[in-house]
Structure 1
Amino acid sequence: MKLIKTLFFFFSIALLGCAESKNPSFTEADLVLIPQPKSLELHSGSFEITRETRFVIANGSLKELTGIINDLLSNSAGFSLDVVSEETANSIQLSINSELEEEAYTLEVTAEKVLLEANSKLGFVYGLETIRQLLPKEVESKTQVSDLALYIPNVSINDAPQYSYRGSHLDVSRHFFGKEYIKKHLDRMAFLKLNTFHFHLVDDQGWRIEIKKYPKLTEVGAYRVDQEDKHWNARTKNDPEEKGTYGGFYTQEDIKEIVAYAQAKGIRVIPEIEMPAHVMSAIAAYPWLSCTDEPIAVPSGGVWPITDIYCPGKETTFEFLEDVLTEVMALFPGEYIHAGGDEATRTNWETCPSCQKLMREEGLADTGELQSYFMKRIEKFLSEHNRTLIGWDEILEGGLPQKATVMSWRGFQGGWEATKAGHDVIMTPVSHMYFDYYQGSPDHEPVAFNAFLPLEKVYEFNPVVDSMSVEQKKHVLGGQANLWSEYISTEAHSEYMLFPRLTALAEVIWSPKEKIDWENYTHRVRKMMQRFDVMEINYAKSAFAVQQESTIDLETGEITVALHSEFPDTEIRYVLGEAELTPEAALYQTPLKIDSTTRVKAAVFENGKQMGDTMNKFFDFHQAVAKPVTYKFEYSASYPSTGETALVDVLRGSKYFKDGRWQGWINNSAVVTIDLQELKEVQQVVVGTLEEQGTGIYFPEELKVEVSQDGTNFQQVAETTRDYQTNPGAKIENFKLDFKKQQAQYLRVTIKPLSETPKGGGAWLFVDEILVN
């Protein structure tokens, strides 16, 4: 009997071991869910999806949702799950629970089955996307993976969103993106439980939606003259007679396909038809829409101020807009239509006889009230068709349309004022939600708008302002990320700007406040990036980039270099000089001290693998370091850098002209005299300069060096010139002026700015260092 008991014990242990190997358990660190669920309990064991697993769906209308999982399985595992209506073991069951809120779901996973309950299609979509994230990342593979183990951890999840509006905006006007990319973006929105796609279809640089009653909107308005080789804001004005060749548009059939695709993913699509400004593409097609009736071209780049806008003094303008909106409403069945309302420069209205006549008839005090009249008419028309107008926060000026929803972009204040007036608000402030901003150092990033929005800043976003009353907070619908495409011409660049920042937005507007934890999120998003690799998303690794902060002690000439990355608890390794940076390089622990010419290279490593770009910073201790400097013409108060020693402090600027390392002059030469304080042998001067033509910063057209032994009598020893060249991005260039070796104590360097810019106006000159060798 004892032998039998012993054998039974070992047999039981063996069976338990088999069960555990077949249904492994997971730890909380294994769960990579973004956004974080409202509540989650992890249990031992797991559920395995096999060829025998079935979807159990009592309600046939939910059958189409199985594609969220089956499409993945078909590609990565080589099979998909059959759908049955009767309950069975080894199944994923979708069951309606009428007690749950519309977007809520519960998920119960055991070794025997997966039970997903919801009260709406939306809830089931979100629950299935959670199941997707619980599956191994390899399930995202587009090709079959051998020996793919499809385990779902045993969990109990109760989940619902914090905000009802969770949006992602794409600008397809400045640069056009085809419908397949839009559908791909919708897939990824659903993956992150975002539920609103803001489709920016109209702007100055392109009209992107077919309107059958007005065919020239796409025949003319959808195309512009190709100036893609130039910086967006340095592109010149086009001739209305020159045919545009760069662009594209969506047919109405394309739009129907996109809207249907979005609906299947639980995403509503809000079209934006801009007015009264950002409509030069429409006026290029139909000049009678403006106050002047003058032909214009679709612009190829930035326009400011925006004076070519719709004329509200003509009844034909409103007839046109109502016709357009009628066709738009037939294509987009949702509640909202976005009508823009932003950045209108109304100078033409002030001199337009038709506008002035209308203002007198309506008793309007100024053109601000005329714009309010314009938007109220559009809001009334939409309201008559059971639609709600959304406008950018400029629609607050002159009085809000009665039922309008405000999209607050110039900060939080517009949203605060709108909620105070009882209007619904969507928060999308530039400070947190403009994804066309740089997310890392411009030295390593693709061209972007000149401002910073790192991942952590996105994660700090909260659409509710603390000073709001309880009633005001009820009017905050949620938040939205905007990706404007002035600088984004490719799908890969678009993805780079969206990810991983879109994951941060998704979490902070879905998850409850107590779940918002930056450090916890960083661990999950780093693992989520591994899934993005399989999904073939071109995401940014900017948060891994090593950033350096350098200071110089002008008394000792010693530089202190502090290193960090945006992600906490990262392993930073570095080398000095020209040594190779490897996983075995020195581990950074305390700031580095440098007192002689050297190079610092550093990067973040994880498990022996480099993550992100290498920081590569050269510190050149030349002969003029910390020497006295005098200026003939004062540098701009807007760009002083660190003052009178800035050009001889070793510390160099980046491609970001606002980084505090650049001294700037406008419409003036930089004439700088350096006192070496004793006679020294010199033979070269190097001038570090920056160019960003879209911002009006240009390389110099002439540089010269003069030397002196007494500070009074100077002799020119070197000179160089440079002709203007088109440059679409930011660029740093060191101008080297070599001359015969000689003794000198004083050097006078004259740096002359570009005398004539392509678009007219003054040229900025930016200098970060003058090196004397």
Structure 2
Amino acid sequence: MSVLKRILVLMLVVITASCQEKKETKVFTEADIAIIPKPVDLQLAEGVFEFNDDTQFVISEASQKEIVSILSDKFKSAAGWTLKVSEKAPQSNYIEFISDDSLNDEAYELVVNSDKVTIKAKTYSGFLYGLETIRQLLPVEIESKEVLNQTDWVIPNLIIKDEPRFKWRGLHLDVSRHFFEKSYIKETIDMLAMHKMNVFHFHLVDDQGWRIEIKKYPKLTEIGAFRNDQEDAHWDGRRVTTPEDEATYGGFYTQEDIKEIVAYAKSKGVQVVPEIEMPAHVMSAIAAYPELSCFETPIGVPSGGVWPITEIYCAGKESTFEFLENVLLEVMELFPSEYIHVGGDEATKTNWAKCPHCQKRMKDEGLANVEELQSYFIKRMERFISSHDRKLIGWDEILEGGLAPEATVMSWRGVAGGLEAAEQGHDVVMTPGSHMYFDHYQGPQNLEPLAWGGYTPLSKVYEFDPVVETMTPEQAKHVLGGQANVWSEQIKTEEHSQYMIFPRLAALSEAVWSPKASRNWDDFSKRILSQFKRYDYLDVNYAKSAFLVMEDVKIDMETKEVSVELKNEFTDADIRYSLNDEKLTDKATKYTQPLKIDKTTTIHASLFKDDQPVGVQFSKTIAFHKAVGKKVTFKEIYDERYQGEGEFGLVNTLRGTKNFQDGHWQAWLAKGMEAVVDLGEEMPIHEVILGTLENQGPGIYFPTAVKVYVSNDGKSYKEVGVEKRPFAKNPSFDLKDFKITFDEQSVRYVKVVAESMKTLPNGGDVWLFVDEIVIN
């Protein structure tokens, strides 16, 4: 046999052996399915469909190429394949789009078998959601930006029948308080589509910035889009600006930008709803055109918080309505949205009560008060918007004084406004601050980036239901759905914005898509782990707050024993802990019941998964010191609104957090603190520590100085130390221990004096917050 023949025979043997070698096929179970939001109905079957470089997409309309590109681009990046798109199905190995007019608008049916995949839908959105479901059935590595050669690109054989519970599944983004680039807006829209969300509420106008080009009124962006840069100060601690101030912070979207964003959103099945605020939250417009206000006083674009909001549009001048109608004509030309949001919230109408133009309007229209004048304002704008075949939507304040006939209400002050509107036969979008304000904290405040306040963790978002239990079936029909709001007073960067949105958007997506009966937190908390891996590949800066261990600390003042409860958001979480110098490893003690502490102890803890710690490690020191449980007397008692734990509040080992309402703080308004601790007997001490908080927004400032005095008779004191801290601007929330050390001496009484600014230079009383006097 020739050498060539031997080689050919050998190759044949190898090929035959390779063909006979049976490839192991992945067997899927329901636990492997991690789709968010959870489909209405999913039936798992045996077998898999495997993607390879010959897989084709079969479309019936040219517009479906946009949908296909979502997945084909993923395969190009992660697998290195360029998958074909055709209009005729091959014998096998394809994904086919089949139109089915019997389905509801956003519904889809997905059938996967080993030869082919079919998506049936009636609309563009239905096909899009079917493809997004395939994306989530694929390994998370499909999100990779680099080619991965060892991944099996298979999905399970199954049948899914799915459609949303609500038609309005939205996210509101405030770009007025802090401006975000067009690229970030498009990235956010991508993520909305991935989560089967369909409304992007674009908050383009507020006091601190006008963000949309209006060609008829160029000063709106020339002046209104920029403000004096005071980003080094707390949002509510910034000085009032004037028209003469240099304005360098801001930005706006050109009309071409808006067209691009709207077209991009359409390709992702997302409706962009513009918000053009009125009659309040419009100081940026009044700064550009002072004649729009009642008294035409020139103002600067505010650099920070404004309250109350008195500079609002004049409701008495016809020129105001001419301006707004012209603005809305350009807005409606740019946005094909069914809805135009007009705000309508937080208008302080004191100027209307004094304005001769407004008073004349009230007399001419037979209006009893300024609330009815606001109703007149909104009703008039509603007639204009309706005349252009659009629908007006506004915050629940538009109910005051009477609601415009065809208006839709967005209920943010709880659900009461939504209930009232539904009772009157109006459509409602539920977005209560309790569950839907994503500018609130989502984890322990000490470990989180700056937020507006409140506490809205992932599990609380998941509990949200747009339909209120007390609603009748008829009223429930008026609930269009739900929406999350991201207000950006404290959110300066795109990374921070993402952190506040994700993963809470995933929880919301399930709350507004999936049947209420199928929702289960334990099940969701398992599926969200897979979503986290996708976020990692997508470089999404999502919050891992749900992993964080939190504590609930109490002390029995009689026994001087501290009880520490550890918990996080996951049911039956595997929390393990170690004490003091013990390392936190997989051998650490599993937490099962509150820890009892009777001496200075440092607790380390973490959530564990697969014997590995997850998220940021928890660490807390319970410091027992010589003042614990001792008598404290004050020259002036603390404010009744912030009493901490009362008599022993400053000597109980319990430290406050950045949340000044956590119950551990004692506070003084417009005065300093002078406290005397009676140690009961003479004892040697060398250090005094005073725990304090600063949050300049609500007027909480660090002391300007802390002084310590000691005595043995409680009458004659000598100063042993002082720490001074001059006032400084601080845009953040911070904790600070003022630490005074001195030569050891034996004393019985310790006097601690914390000096306060008392009042601010521009007016307003100053709070002083203290949580503990530590004596060592």
TM-score category of the 2 structures, normalised to the smaller one: over 0.9
Count residues with an aligned counterpart: 760
Q: Give the whole-Å Cα distance in 2 for the aligned partners of 1:239 and 1:584.
A: 62
Task: Say yes or no: does 1:385 pair with 2:407.
Answer: no
Structure 1, residues 185-217: CA drift from partner, whole Å, max 9, x if none? 001000000011100000011100000000111
| 1:51 alignment partner in structure 2 | 53
1:459 to 458, 462, 480: 462
| 1:495 alignment partner in structure 2 | 498
Structure 1, residues 544-586: CA drift from partner, whole Å, max 9, x if none? 0000111112122111111111112322222211343333333
Q: Give the whole-Å Cα distance in 2 for the aligned partners of 1:17 and 1:307.
A: 80
Instruction: Say which SS state the counterpart of residue 435 (structure 1) adopts.
Output: coil
Letter in structure 2 aligned against 1:735: F
Asked if 2 retains the 8 angstrom alpha-carbon contact of 1:549 and 1:562, the reply is yes
Residues 123-522 of structure 1 mapped to structure 2, 5 A cutoff: 123-522=126-525
Going from structure 1 to structure 2, the CA distance change for 1:276 and 1:18 (only over 3 Å counts) comes to: farther
| 2:28 alignment partner in structure 1 | 26
Structure 1, residues 12-59: CA drift from partner, whole Å, max 9, x if none? xx9999897364221111111000000001112110111111111233
More divergent stretch after superposition (402-411 vs 300-309): 300-309
Deviation at 1:758, TM superposition (A): 5.0
Asked if 2 retains the 8 angstrom alpha-carbon contact of 1:252 and 1:331, the reply is yes
Asked if 2 retains the 8 angstrom alpha-carbon contact of 1:337 and 1:390, the reply is yes
2:84 to 69, 82, 85: 82
Q: Give the whole-Å Cα distance in 1 for the aligned partners of 2:433 and 2:23.
A: 50
Asked if 1 retains the 8 angstrom alpha-carbon contact of 2:670 and 2:759, the reply is no
Structure 1, residues 287-336: CA drift from partner, whole Å, max 9, x if none? 11111111111111111111111111111111110000000000001210
| 1:762 alignment partner in structure 2 | 765
Q: Give the whole-Å Cα distance in 2 for the aligned partners of 1:670 and 1:755.
A: 11
Instruction: Say which SS state the counterpart of residue 691 (structure 1) adopts.
Output: strand
Q: TM-score, normalised by structure 2?
A: 0.96
Residues 64-75 of structure 1 mapped to structure 2, 5 A cutoff: 64-75=66-77
Q: Give the whole-Å Cα distance in 2 for the aligned partners of 1:632 and 1:553.
A: 26
1:526 to 524, 529, 541: 529
Letter in structure 2 aligned against 1:249: F
Q: Give the whole-Å Cα distance in 2 for the aligned partners of 1:149 and 1:733.
A: 53
More divergent stretch after superposition (331-340 vs 629-638): 629-638
Deviation at 1:256, TM superposition (A): 0.3
Structure 1, residues 614-636: CA drift from partner, whole Å, max 9, x if none? 11111111100011112221211
Q: Give the whole-Å Cα distance in 2 for the aligned partners of 1:567 and 1:548.
A: 14
2:600 to 597, 601, 607: 597
Asked if 2 retains the 8 angstrom alpha-carbon contact of 1:696 and 1:763, the reply is yes
Q: TM-score, normalised by structure 1?
A: 0.96
| 2:41 alignment partner in structure 1 | 39
Asked if 2 retains the 8 angstrom alpha-carbon contact of 1:704 and 1:719, the reply is yes
Instruction: Say which SS state the counterpart of residue 443 (structure 1) adopts.
Output: helix
Instruction: Say which SS state the counterpart of residue 500 (structure 2) adopts.
Output: helix
Structure 1, residues 728-757: CA drift from partner, whole Å, max 9, x if none? 111111111233432222222221212342
Residues 528-547 of structure 1 mapped to structure 2, 5 A cutoff: 528-547=531-550
Task: Say yes or no: does 1:718 pair with 2:721.
Answer: yes
2:115 to 92, 112, 116: 112
Deviation at 1:721, TM superposition (A): 2.5
Q: Give the whole-Å Cα distance in 1 for the aligned partners of 2:318 and 2:302.
A: 26
Letter in structure 1 aligned against 2:195: L
Asked if 2 retains the 8 angstrom alpha-carbon contact of 1:666 and 1:764, the reply is yes
Q: Give the whole-Å Cα distance in 2 for the aligned partners of 1:377 and 1:524.
A: 48
Residues 725-764 of structure 1 mapped to structure 2, 5 A cutoff: 725-757=728-760, 759-764=762-767
Asked if 1 retains the 8 angstrom alpha-carbon contact of 2:199 and 2:271, the reply is yes
Letter in structure 1 aligned against 2:241: N
Going from structure 1 to structure 2, the CA distance change for 1:759 and 1:501 (only over 3 Å counts) comes to: farther
Asked if 2 retains the 8 angstrom alpha-carbon contact of 1:195 and 1:267, the reply is yes
Asked if 2 retains the 8 angstrom alpha-carbon contact of 1:198 and 1:269, the reply is yes
Letter in structure 2 aligned against 1:243: E
Q: Give the whole-Å Cα distance in 2 for the aligned partners of 1:255 and 1:143.
A: 32
More divergent stretch after superposition (750-759 vs 122-131): 750-759
Asked if 2 retains the 8 angstrom alpha-carbon contact of 1:692 and 1:731, the reply is yes
Deviation at 1:713, TM superposition (A): 3.3
Residues 554-633 of structure 1 mapped to structure 2, 5 A cutoff: 554-633=557-636
| 1:10 alignment partner in structure 2 | none
Letter in structure 2 aligned against 1:599: T
Asked if 2 retains the 8 angstrom alpha-carbon contact of 1:259 and 1:269, the reply is yes
Asked if 2 retains the 8 angstrom alpha-carbon contact of 1:234 and 1:759, the reply is no
Instruction: Say which SS state the counterpart of residue 697 (structure 2) adopts.
Output: helix
Instruction: Say which SS state the counterpart of residue 703 (structure 1) adopts.
Output: strand
Deviation at 1:390, TM superposition (A): 0.4
Superposed CA RMSD: 1.6
| 1:63 alignment partner in structure 2 | 65
Q: Give the whole-Å Cα distance in 1 for the aligned partners of 2:508 and 2:761.
A: 40
Instruction: Say which SS state the counterpart of residue 574 (structure 1) adopts.
Output: strand
Asked if 2 retains the 8 angstrom alpha-carbon contact of 1:541 and 1:611, the reply is no
Deviation at 1:349, TM superposition (A): 0.8
Instruction: Say which SS state the counterpart of residue 170 (structure 1) adopts.
Output: strand
Letter in structure 1 aligned against 2:451: A
Structure 1, residues 250-286: CA drift from partner, whole Å, max 9, x if none? 0000000000000011110100000000001101111
Residues 592-741 of structure 1 mapped to structure 2, 5 A cutoff: 592-741=595-744
Q: Give the whole-Å Cα distance in 2 for the aligned partners of 1:283 and 1:671.
A: 47
Going from structure 1 to structure 2, the CA distance change for 1:576 and 1:259 (only over 3 Å counts) comes to: same
Q: Give the whole-Å Cα distance in 2 for the aligned partners of 1:521 and 1:370.
A: 47
Asked if 2 retains the 8 angstrom alpha-carbon contact of 1:23 and 1:111, the reply is no
Asked if 1 retains the 8 angstrom alpha-carbon contact of 2:579 and 2:601, the reply is yes
More divergent stretch after superposition (222-231 vs 389-398): 222-231
Instruction: Say which SS state the counterpart of residue 26 (structure 2) adopts.
Output: coil
Q: Give the whole-Å Cα distance in 2 for the aligned partners of 1:37 and 1:116.
A: 14
Deviation at 1:720, TM superposition (A): 3.2
Letter in structure 2 aligned against 1:50: N
Q: Give the whole-Å Cα distance in 2 for the aligned partners of 1:23 and 1:356.
A: 78
Letter in structure 2 aligned against 1:727: N
Instruction: Say which SS state the counterpart of residue 23 (structure 2) adopts.
Output: helix
Q: Give the whole-Å Cα distance in 2 for the aligned partners of 1:508 and 1:20.
A: 43
Deviation at 1:676, TM superposition (A): 1.0
More divergent stretch after superposition (61-70 vs 634-643): 61-70
Going from structure 1 to structure 2, the CA distance change for 1:756 and 1:323 (only over 3 Å counts) comes to: same
Unmatched runs of 5 consecutive residues or more in structure 2: 1-15
Q: Give the whole-Å Cα distance in 1 for the aligned partners of 2:735 and 2:60.
A: 64
Structure 1, residues 157-207: CA drift from partner, whole Å, max 9, x if none? 000110111001110110111111111000100000001110000001110
Q: Give the whole-Å Cα distance in 2 for the aligned partners of 1:530 and 1:29.
A: 16
Asked if 1 retains the 8 angstrom alpha-carbon contact of 2:667 and 2:769, the reply is yes
| 2:12 alignment partner in structure 1 | none
Structure 1, residues 595-646: CA drift from partner, whole Å, max 9, x if none? 1112111111222433111111111111000111122212112111111101
